[in-house]
Amino acid sequence: MYKAQLGGLNALITKKGILYDFFELKEVPLEKVEPFSSSKSGKKPQLPEMEVFGHVIEIILQGRNENAKAIGKEKSKTYHNYLTSGDPSHSKGYVGLYKEVAISSVYDNIDMRYYFEDNSLRYDYILKPGADVRKIKMQLDGSEHSYINEAGEWIFETRFGEVKNTKLLSYQMIDGEKKVIPCKFKKDTDGNIVFDLGAYDHTKDLVIDPLVYSTFIGSGVPDYGTAIVVDDSNQAYITGHYYSMAAGNSYLNAGQYNYFGFAAWNIVVLKLSSDGSSLLFATFISSVNGANMAHDIHLRFDKTIHIVGELYTLTTDPGFYGILTPNGDSVLLNWPIYGNYGDHPMRSVKTDSQKNVYFTGDCWYPSQPFFPPVGYPPGGPFPPISDTFFYVLHHPVGRFW
């Protein structure tokens, strides 16, 4: 399976065809969030709760070759790491990025390719000599209405608006020149989308090339950058947190969906080239215990990446201290840090040449009834109280002082 992303769209290339996940994110009003507040200390949540409105459309290739294989082409130097703190079995490092995905023999003598052009997703059918275009049958699932308009565009409706398969172009290369072949979408008697193709030279390859277009794509995923550090080669490491679309309900079933929840906030670590023109790697870190927020990043002399922040749970927000390998492909340490009471976010981290680690942060806890703040009635409710802390973790003893 391969995944492509645009603002407001996730596209998954599967064995059955392609799945489009169109989505929009909206901030949840505070009154709706209160029953699921991230902190029992009275501290206001630091990140907005997001509600996801989505619509999954699946295009299934009927009669396809079940043994067809998808292969990524034109691999990028950039790679992604997907890590789950507390569960290494669900972590994956060095995930490659590709400019296109090619599928060979999706039908007999028919290949496919998916790729981006001008920030739009395109797909091609490549018919080799001996191919029968009538074998291509696309079944639509998840949309209540689809049709072919007077311009010959295949249109299906979503909760957000219409999506067009448009600018359909069919051509052959003859003596070095592109020869356009008449082609249009149509529906067969079973409601499948097929191609009505004009006469062409069956001894040469033919390409059928539609464009997937929607005016409403553009509601992207929110993210926050919180800290940056630069190494001796002037390469920058940036950390922060982003809203993960993978959290909450599964969105792999065709049709409409909604969900909201704090557990979708995860950590990201990026490494940029010294001139800022290239992304060298991106590491995405989720947690089995709740959402994550990163507040600071530090590079130790051995190039390991040190991050501090807090977990975002339904009961309290403990701090955490994490260490990544220099390439960001695995977690060396994942250490939640709890205070005696209330929230305990870690705000900053530094190390020295002896591998000692220095932390600072703050503790949040509710005011106690026997310590009523000035100006508040006995019995409350009272505002939260915060204190600042400073920790030193000595190496190799592993104790706080």
Give the pLDDT confidence of 147-186 residue by residue, as tens digits.
999 888 899 999 988 888 888 899 999 999 999 999 999 9
Strands of 149-278, DSSP E: 154-158, 161-174, 177-180, 183-187, 193-197, 206-213, 223-230, 236-243, 255-260, 265-272
Query: Is residue 77 in some structural domain?
Result: no
**CATH code assigned at 382:** 2.130.10.10
pLDDT at 400 over 50: no
Distances, alpha carbon 175 to alpha carbons 178, 204, 205, 292, in Å: 8, 11, 13, 58
Count of CA atoms in the C-beta half-sphere (13 A) of 237:
23
Q: Which of 18-22, 106-110, 186-190, 370-374 has the lowest mean pLDDT?
A: 370-374
The single residue listed with the structure tokens 């149509």 is 186
Q: pLDDT at position 89, please? A: 78
Indicate the residue type of 149.
Answer: N
Please provide the distance, in angstroms rounded to a whole number, between the alpha carbons at the two ends of the chain: 49
Residue 370: pLDDT above 70?
A: no
Which distant-in-sequence residues (6+ apart) come within 8 Å of 303 by Cβ? 231, 326
Q: Are residues 119 and 180 both part of a single domain?
A: yes
d(CA 192, CA 148): 12
* C-alpha Rg value of the chain to the nearest Å: 26
> Is the confidence at residue 374, as pLDDT, over 60?
no
Do residues 208 and 127 lie in contact, with contact meaning Cβ atoms separated by under 8 Å?
yes
369-373 mean pLDDT: 47
Distance CA 285, CA 186 (A): 45
Verify that 209 and 260 share a domain, yes or no: no
Boundary-marking domain end, from 157, 183, 213: 213
Residue carrying structure tokens 């705000």: 347
**Which range has the top average pLDDT, 220-229, 256-265, 301-310, 313-322?**
301-310
Q: Which residue carries 């995930």 as its tokens?
A: 95
**7 and 156 part of one domain:** yes
Is there a single domain that holds both residue 230 and residue 209?
no
- Residue numbers of the domain that contains 300: 223-400
How far is the C-alpha of 185 from the C-alpha of 344, rounded, in Å? 59
Residues 274, 129 share a domain: no
Q: Band of the pLDDT at 263, cuts 50, 70, 90?
A: very low
Q: Residue 386's pLDDT is what? A: 64
- Tokens in use for 359? 């932390």
Single out the residue in 162, 179, 213 at which a domain terminates: 213
Mean pLDDT is lowest, of 11-25, 148-162, 314-328, 355-369, for: 355-369
Q: Are residues 118 and 242 in the same domain?
A: no
Note the pLDDT of residue 339. 63
Residues 136 and 235 in one domain: no
Q: How many residues does the chain have?
A: 401
Instruction: Kindly state the helix (H) or strand (E) to which residue 33 belongs, with its residue range.
Output: helix 30-33
**For a pLDDT cut of 70, what percent of the chain falls above it?**
78
258 and 176 within one domain: no
Looking at the 3D structure of the chain, how many domains does it have?
2
Within a domain: 87: no
Distance in angstroms (rounded) separating the CA atoms of residues 264 and 287: 9
Statement to judge: residues 270 and 131 lie in one domain: no
- Pick from 228, 229, 225: nearest CA to 241: 225
pLDDT of residue 315: 64
Q: Which residue has the higher pLDDT, 280 or 370?
A: 280
Contacts of 116 (CB under 8 A, 6+ apart): 4, 99, 100, 122
pLDDT for the residue 377: 59
Examine residue 288 and state whether it is found in any structural domain, yes or no.
yes
The answer as to whether 218 is a domain residue is no
Domain boundary among 213, 248, 272: 213
Reduced to 3 states, what is the DSSP secondary structure of residue 181?
coil
- Give the largest Cα separation in the chain, rounded: 91
At 40 the pLDDT is 44
Within-domain flag for 80: no
142 shares a domain with 249: no
Written as one letter, the residue type at 76 is S
Helix and strand numbers (H, E) in the chain are 1, 29
| Least confident residue range of 112-121, 224-233, 239-248 | 239-248
> Measured between alpha carbons, how far is residue 344 from residues 2, 137, 341 in Å?
39, 57, 8
308 with 202, same domain? no
Strands of 28-68 (E only): list them: 50-62
Q: For all residues of the chain together, what is the average pLDDT? A: 82
Residue 10 has pLDDT above 80, yes or no: yes
How far is CA 235 from each of CA 151, 273, 300, rounded to the nearest angstrom? 51, 5, 14
Going by C-beta distance under 8 Å and a sequence separation of 6 or more, which residues neighbour residue 160? 22, 24, 55, 214, 216
CA 46 – CA 269 distance, rounded (Å): 20
pLDDT at res. 246: 52
**330 within some domain:** yes
Which of 43-52, 190-199, 243-252 is least confident? 243-252
Between these two residues, 217 and 20, which has the higher pLDDT value? 20
Q: Which of 8-17, 34-43, 236-245, 260-269 has the lowest mean pLDDT?
A: 34-43
d(CA 194, CA 303): 55
Task: Report d(CA 294, CA 333) in Å as an integer.
Answer: 15
Judge if 189 and 242 occupy the same domain: no
Question: Is 380 within the bounds of a domain?
Answer: yes
